[in-house]
Amino acid sequence: MAPHTPSAVNRVTGPRQPLREAALRISRAALAAGDPRPLLHRAVRVAGSTLTAGSLTLDLGRIRRVLVLGCGKASAWMAEAVEDILGDRVDDGFVVVKDGHTRSLRRVRIAEAGHPVPDARGQAASGELVGLARAAGADDLVLLLISGGGSALTPAPPPPITLDEKREITRLLLGAGATIRELNAVRKHLSLVKGGQLARAAAPARVLTLILSDVIGDPLDVIASGPTAPDPSTFADALQVLERRGVTARVSRAVLDRLRAGARGEIDETPKPGDAVFSRVTNLVIGNNALVIDAAVSEATRLGYAPRVLTRALEGEARDVARELVKRSSESPPRTCLVAGGETTVTVRGMGCGGRCQELALAAALDIQGRQDIVVLAVGTDGTDGPTDAAGAVVDGSTAERAARAGLEAHARLADNDSHAVLGASGDLIVTGPTGTNLLDIYLVLRA
């Protein structure tokens, strides 16, 4: 059964213009390339009783039990592929996904939980994952499926820190524009799962972790906060993130007490490189943003555009990035398609609703207002952008005008971080539903 339209945009109600249609076609091809199921089938091979994944070769005849665990927006799709590959060799399994990102599985159980803000369902799911990992023995294989979103979906705050306190610090850091690396450095030190601690729970079992990377550069310790990867960050680093983002005075006493106690060496650190708990752990990245970028380049070429990859590591404030992308496109020859992959940030100052892709798109729409030769598309490969039903948006020089006709002034709404309302009124939202993957964002700027 195919994932929920990974290669099709379900709803875009704005004008059907050649430049916009080309951008949408390119984005469809990019999303289709991120389907995790063929990636799993390429990464994991079973011939007879021999399982091969990367440099790891295992004789399944010597494995007592195969346990499939997972967390992240794509983990249900990944589990579906594992069930296809291993069949009745899967003895038990449990994955936790964002609401709506489910599949119909035969042997692996699924739980839904809150994202990006953790909730009680995620806390319960974390307990289930840890319990299964701890029950694994030396003759068992723990097959862990990791994708973006896994960190928020597995809150396991150490007592006396409460889930509400964990949620609050997540909200504060997201609102302050913290990067994924900063956010995870804090979350790992307020968790019993993250930062290699699931590997510690599973030892001495054999652990094979298959990873879809939603982080620039594929750092194993950052993707889903690295539950089976050595953690180079420290309690002191977590404290520095709070200071740098200006939220220290607003976090709870219990959080500060734990981080400060850890920095003084009074609490055990997360396991570091060289720790014996990783001696039987294999971490394998099976997909990243390069896949969708390469697919976008191929489709742009097929449609007669000259593709130019600006970066595969795009970062920065969404509004500033929008301005730079429009500038680059204005300086490019006709029939050019600029392509970038990565993940921007939004510093929330208003009360509106949106996401980083929508904020970038709206800012770009204001920069190209009145122009007919440039279209900008920004979309999250997971199908969700912020706390909205949209994956992103495609905008042109008439976006602001269409919104104005609906009674929404784009500049004021952007100042209020209310991109979703404007882009909904202008018909520019891209709505795909959950795509089954999560490989960062893709940004396209086409010039006629």
Predicted confidence band of residue 8 (pLDDT cuts 50, 70, 90): very low
In a domain, 250, yes or no: no
- Quick check: 99 pLDDT over 90? yes
- Determine the average pLDDT of the residues in 421-427: 97
pLDDT range class, residue 117, cuts 50, 70, 90: confident
Neighbours of 363 (CB within 10 A): 25
- Whether residues 197 and 91 share a domain: the answer is yes
Range of the domain at 65: 36-156+191-233+270-286
Strand-pairing partners, residue 311, are 340
| Whether 279 and 323 share a structural domain | no
87 shares a domain with 135: yes
In the predicted structure, residue 97 carries a pLDDT above the cut 90: yes
397 and 377 in a single domain? The answer is yes
Reported as a single tens digit per residue, the pLDDT across 237-270 is: 999 999 999 999 999 999 999 999 999 999 999 9
Residue 119 contacts by C-beta under 8 Å, 6 or more apart in sequence?
113, 155, 163, 167
With respect to residue 169, please indicate whether it lies within any of the assigned structural domains.
Answer: no
| CATH code for the domain in which residue 373 is found | 3.40.1480.10
d(CA 309, CA 55): 31
Report strand pairing: 66-71 vs 92-98: parallel
User: Is the residue at 251 inside a domain?
Assistant: no
Judge whether 174 lies within some domain: no
Q: How many domains does the chain have?
A: 2
d(CA 6, CA 434): 8
pLDDT tens sequence across 372-404: 999 999 999 999 999 899 999 999 999 999 999
- Is there a domain that residue 336 lies in? yes
Considering Cα of 84, then 89, then 92, then 93, what sign does the dihedral take? negative
pTM greater than 0.85 (yes/no)? yes
Give yes or no: residues 99 and 224 share one domain: yes
Do 277 and 311 belong together in one domain?
A: no
Q: Verify that 361 and 387 share a domain, yes or no.
A: yes
Q: Are residues 226 and 368 in the same domain?
A: no
Same domain, 298 and 345: yes
Residue 369 belongs to some domain of the structure = yes
